[in-house]
């Protein structure tokens, strides 16, 4: 579900024509719908309400401060993986007690910053990291709260680069090792190891891997408790899907229907577990588009290329994961206004096969490959959909291309929430002497 729709032949974000926004901010540009962000946040909150979870928005998916603030005002905590993300969470007025800090390579500076900020939990990825945290917290005379990330060895059936729950993954420790970690480090004064963290992959478009991972983890929690460890938190991570091609992602209620019954008995009673969730993509992905302008059309061999002014530096997902993003003109030629948006639209009669490519000097610089599109002309705007998560978040300066602006639409109004970067700004940290 999102608030991007074609009305009278052109694409709108909520009540604002996308073309009007780019008249003002230029291209390429990221445009987000605030109603869509909030809708998806609320969908998770409502579906999982029985568990009273702390929903820690995963900042890495779409880190804009304004968006963090919007979600914080709705009740979100934050999942952070670096000092930079932690500062974003705090600058968005995030409640430190609702911040979880994950990541396999936390530096001492980052750990100190997190201790200074009194965050809720450190999500621990290895024994060595835990030993280091124990040392730093001990030296400072403070007590940190931590959850051990376990790797339940389930296959989330997602891209190999974003699959994290298998035994061979660099994240977390396997279930056997987890028990040993508790035996060795679970009774230290300076770190209260009181939680288990899971994150099996992203996107996970089926519910079974969650069910299997949570079942295995609950068995571990029972074992740890019977060994005398006070486990009071289970963080089930993120990974819920989003609609890229059509409606392939289960809605939040479908995940909840499978997950909530496993945990309802655990959140009450004498030994209650606090549940943490870390959604990112499922909140932000469908809430954002990347808009680009057609620079040139060209033919090479038998292939037609649509060359646009957004490239892999603006949206790297197609290049990195061969990810599919639906692409369609903002003002399609007459007869090509989609009744329903999504991959099926590309079968409309009169569409032509094209590669939508950017200006970056790499063959991997494409936004869509061999895609059926309506006839296009120089100057035409195209929207790249489902770009709200891991879009701007992964943008780079490759080819010395400044970062695009980010715009947030709220009903009939829009505002720039990150200005277009200028050349001077891009080079500001460098010197010629």
Q: Is 361 a catalytic residue?
A: yes
Q: What are the C-alpha distances in Å from 347 to residues 14, 41, 372, 375, 383?
A: 26, 33, 7, 13, 18
Nearest to 365 by CA among 286, 281, 305, 285: 305
- Listed in sequence order, the residues at least 6 apart from 349 whose beta carbon sits closer than 8 Å to its beta carbon are none
Question: Which of 239, 311, 329, 405 is in the footprint of ligand LLP by CB under 6 A?
Answer: 239
- Listed in sequence order, the residues at least 6 apart from 156 whose beta carbon sits closer than 8 Å to its beta carbon are 163, 164, 165, 200, 201, 202, 204, 209, 239
Beta strands in 314-388, from DSSP E residues, in sequence order: 327-329, 352-357, 366-373, 381-384
- Listed in sequence order, the residues at least 6 apart from 88 whose beta carbon sits closer than 8 Å to its beta carbon are 59, 63, 65, 68, 78, 80
Facing residues of 240 across strands?
204
DSSP 414: E
Binding to ligand LLP in span 61-100, by CB under 6 A: 61, 79
Please identify, using beta-carbon distances, which residue of 60 and 266 lies nearer to ligand LLP: 60
Question: Which of 63, 152, 165, 237 is in the footprint of ligand LLP by CB under 6 A?
Answer: 237
Please identify, using beta-carbon distances, which residue of 40 and 293 lies nearer to ligand LLP: 40
- Listed in sequence order, the residues at least 6 apart from 180 whose beta carbon sits closer than 8 Å to its beta carbon are none
DSSP 401: P
Q: Whose structure tokens read 């009273």?
A: 52
Please identify, using beta-carbon distances, which residue of 172 and 186 lies nearer to ligand LLP: 172
Please identify, using beta-carbon distances, which residue of 58 and 346 lies nearer to ligand LLP: 58
Contact call for residue 169 and ligand LLP (CB under 6 A): no
Contact call for residue 233 and ligand LLP (CB under 6 A): no
Please identify, using beta-carbon distances, which residue of 25 and 111 lies nearer to ligand LLP: 111
Cα 233–chain centre separation: 22
Contact call for residue 318 and ligand LLP (CB under 6 A): no
Contact call for residue 390 and ligand LLP (CB under 6 A): yes
Region near ligand LLP per CB under 6 A, out of 10-18, 244-252, 275-283, 329-337:
275-283
Question: Which of 14, 125, 129, 278 is in the footprint of ligand LLP by CB under 6 A?
Answer: 278
Binding to ligand LLP in span 322-381, by CB under 6 A: none
Contact call for residue 53 and ligand LLP (CB under 6 A): no
Site string for ligand LLP, 121-160 (x = CB under 6 A): ----------------------------------------
Query: Least CB distance from residue 371 to ligand LLP, whole Å?
Result: 19
Catalytic positions are 361
List residues binding ligand LLP (CB under 6 A). Answer: 58, 60-61, 79, 102, 162, 199, 202-203, 237-240, 278-282, 317, 321, 389-390
């Amino acid at each position: 579900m999102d608030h991007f729709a074609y009305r009278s032949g052109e694409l709108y974000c909520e009540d604002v024509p996308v073309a009007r926004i780019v008249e003002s901010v230029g291209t390429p540009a990221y445009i987000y719908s605030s109603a869509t962000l909030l809708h998806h946040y609320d969908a998770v909150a409502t579906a999982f309400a029985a568990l009273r979870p702390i929903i820690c928005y995963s900042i890495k998916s779409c880190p804009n401060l304004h968006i963090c603030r919007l979600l914080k005002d709705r009740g979100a905590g934050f999942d952070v993986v670096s000092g930079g993300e932690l500062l974003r969470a705090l600058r968005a007025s995030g409640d430190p007690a609702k911040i979880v800090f994950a990541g396999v390579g936390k530096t001492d500076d980052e750990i100190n910053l997190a201790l200074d900020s009194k965050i809720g939990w450190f999500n621990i990825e290895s024994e060595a990291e835990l030993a280091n945290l124990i040392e730093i917290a001990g030296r400072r005379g403070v007590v940190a709260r931590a959850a051990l990330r376990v790797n339940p060895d389930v296959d989330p059936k997602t891209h190999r680069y974003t699959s994290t729950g298998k035994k061979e993954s660099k994240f977390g420790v396997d279930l056997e090792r987890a028990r040993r970690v508790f035996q060795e480090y679970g009774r230290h004064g300076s770190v209260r190891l009181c939680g288990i963290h899971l994150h099996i992959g992203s996107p996970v478009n089926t519910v079974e891997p969650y069910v299997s991972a949570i079942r295995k983890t609950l068995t571990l929690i029972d074992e740890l408790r019977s060994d005398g460890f006070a486990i009071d938190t289970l963080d089930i991570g993120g990974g819920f899907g989003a609609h890229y091609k059509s409606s392939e992602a289960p809605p939040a209620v479908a995940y909840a229907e499978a997950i909530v019954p496993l945990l309802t008995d655990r959140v009450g009673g004498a030994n209650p577990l606090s549940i943490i969730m870390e959604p990112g993509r499922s909140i932000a992905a469908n809430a954002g588009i990347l808009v680009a302008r057609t620079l040139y059309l060209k033919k090479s061999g038998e292939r037609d290329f649509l060359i646009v002014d957004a490239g892999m530096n603006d949206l790297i997902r197609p290049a990195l994961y061969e990810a599919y993003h639906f692409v369609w003109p903002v003002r399609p030629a007459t007869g090509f206004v989609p009744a329903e948006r999504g991959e099926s639209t590309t079968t409309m009669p009169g569409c032509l096969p094209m590669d939508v490519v950017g200006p970056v000097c790499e063959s991997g610089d494409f936004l869509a490959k061999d895609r059926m599109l309506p006839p296009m002309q120089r100057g035409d705007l195209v929207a790249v959909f489902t770009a709200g998560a891991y879009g701007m978040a992964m943008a780079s300066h490759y080819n010395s291309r400044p970062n695009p602006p980010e715009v947030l639409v709220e009903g009939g109004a829009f505002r720039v929430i990150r200005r277009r970067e200028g050349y001077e700004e891009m080079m500001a940290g460098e010197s010629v002497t």
